[in-house]
Amino acid sequence: LSVYPNGYLPFLTTDTEDNSAGLGIRGEIAGFTADFNVVYGKNDIDFGVQNTINPSFGAASPTSFQAGGLTYDQLVFGADFSREFEVGLAGPLNVAFGLEARQETYKINQGQYESYARGPITNVAFGSRGFTGFTPSNEVDVDRNNVGVYIDLEGKVTEQLTLSAAVRYEDYSDFGDTTTGKLAARYDFTPEFAIRGAVSTGFRAPALQQQYYTSTSILYIDNVPFETGTYPATSNVAAALGAQPLKAETSDNYALGFVFRRGAFELTVDGYKIDVKDRIVLSETLQGSPTAAPGTNARVIYDLLAPYGATAARFFINGVDTDTVGVDVVARYRIVDEQAGVFDLTAAGNINDIEVKRTPVTTTLPTPTSLFARQARLRFEEGTPKQKLTLQGDWKKEAWGATVRTTFYGDVLSPGTLADGSADNSTGNRGLVDLEARYTFPVGLTASVGADNVFDVYPRQIIPSQNTTSASPFSSFSPFGFSGRFVYGRLAYNW
């Protein structure tokens, strides 16, 4: 009270630094077109908290803290080769193969002592309010490497039929290997109309962040410290609650569509279905209580976690299966006029639906409990627009150019915490307009001015009585953010 007599609102700051560099070389080796490349990227995020306090240090507490940070870097080497062979088909057989080697490193760095520590005052909360710093036990320094190889064959079997097949094998240092593949076909009925389809399998290894991210804070129960927070699935805390080591996500993908071209007009329509198994998600928080009745979930959780000095936990898990179906439609038309210039008109639309088919349940507790509750499920099913339409016109004449774009976003649900849905909010259907004008100088310098969201459109505001954080009147689920109009100027140089 002596530090902030009128109260305070903590302010979280992030200092992000991205660095990347790439080097590539192309040439020909034994008749094969060869491409060698090396890319390095690094991201550092340092967290800070301002206008806050660690109450356990009283008036001696700092009012701003360095809360620690995250570091991720990746080094990728790739080698790709391709060549066409005449094998008696209607067209040449294109053979492509290559390899990719990747090394990743992930680190969590602890915050300053006062951002997480318990000070001399013992009957109050401790740690920086708003965001508790990473503790020494949260620190992580891990790495892994993987190597992938692939081969891709494509050829014209007849004048109308084109077939392709691809296989990829990957081996990871931390959990094993996998093989995925793809088959695709295209049949041209006429020079103007063709159908195409593809079937493939997919694979995504757990990210290092999902495997090792740790963030905890300390609660005192009867003057005994207990941790609560997010733990790796392989930790003792998570294992006590039934967590298993993460495994890879897998998918089956199907696509079917057609292409129509006539003169300056082009239309493509593609339907798709994507079935993902064992998606990696963050579980609900399982909270224990020493005062709960024996045999209840809360008491069992407390008893399971007490040997590890914890009282509540959440962790990344496999176990969510989803089905996605949708249609992509893209139409393009070009107008060339000697006096007015070139106009490229594009309309692109998407309709999709995502359904969660399976959710994980922990059987460690007396009453089986969902680890992926209603709110999390709706984030998957309703958290992105089911409809999106973009209309764009590009104009170019000599050194001048301009773009006008209108994007329509369908409604998005922001699920609330009440089981009956009465606290749910939606962003509403919204349309945004973007404009840009540009001029290219003879030396290769292009100057552009423009505005995104010209008419300053915002999503629907959250009902005040249902805004549990009060941090913003708008939902973070908005597909176009909530920053309003953005005006910019840009210079680009090409050589």
Cα 251 to Cα 266: distance, rounded to the nearest angstrom: 31
Q: What is the pLDDT of residue 203?
A: 93
pLDDT of 1 above 70: no
In this predicted structure, what is the pLDDT of residue 361?
84
Secondary structure (H, E, C), 457-493: CCCCECCHHHCCCCCCCECCCCCCCCCCCEEEEEEEE
Q: Can you tell me the distance from the alpha carbon of 166 to that of 79, in angstroms, rounded to the nearest whole number?
A: 16
Q: What is the average pLDDT across 398-406?
A: 97
pLDDT tens digits, residue range 334-371?
999 999 999 999 999 999 999 999 988 887 888 878 88
- Tell me the three state secondary structure of residue 386: coil
**Tell me: the pLDDT tens digits for 13-47?**
999 999 999 999 999 999 999 999 999 999 999 99
Summarised one tens digit per residue, pLDDT across range 433-482 is: 999 999 999 988 999 999 999 999 999 988 777 666 556 788 888 999 99
Task: Find, among 332, 360, 342, 184, the residue nearest to 269 by Cα.
Answer: 332
Q: What is the pLDDT of residue 432?
A: 97
Q: SS3 for 328-365, per residue?
A: EEEEEEEEEECCCEEEEEEEEEEEEEEEEEECCEECCC
pTM, two decimal places = 0.86
Q: Which CATH class is domain 11-493?
A: mainly beta
Q: When comparing pLDDT for 495 and 297, which is higher?
A: 297
Give me the amino acid identity at 389: L
Q: Compute the mean pLDDT over every residue in the chain, rounded to the nearest whole number.
A: 93
* Domain boundaries, given as residue ranges, for the chain: 11-493
Record the tokens describing residue 339, joined without a space. Answer: 């006096």
**Residue-level pLDDT at 326:** 98
Q: What proportions of the chain, in percent to the nearest 5, are helix, strand and coil? A: 10, 55, 35
What are the tens digits of pLDDT across the range 48-77? 999 999 999 999 999 999 999 999 999 999
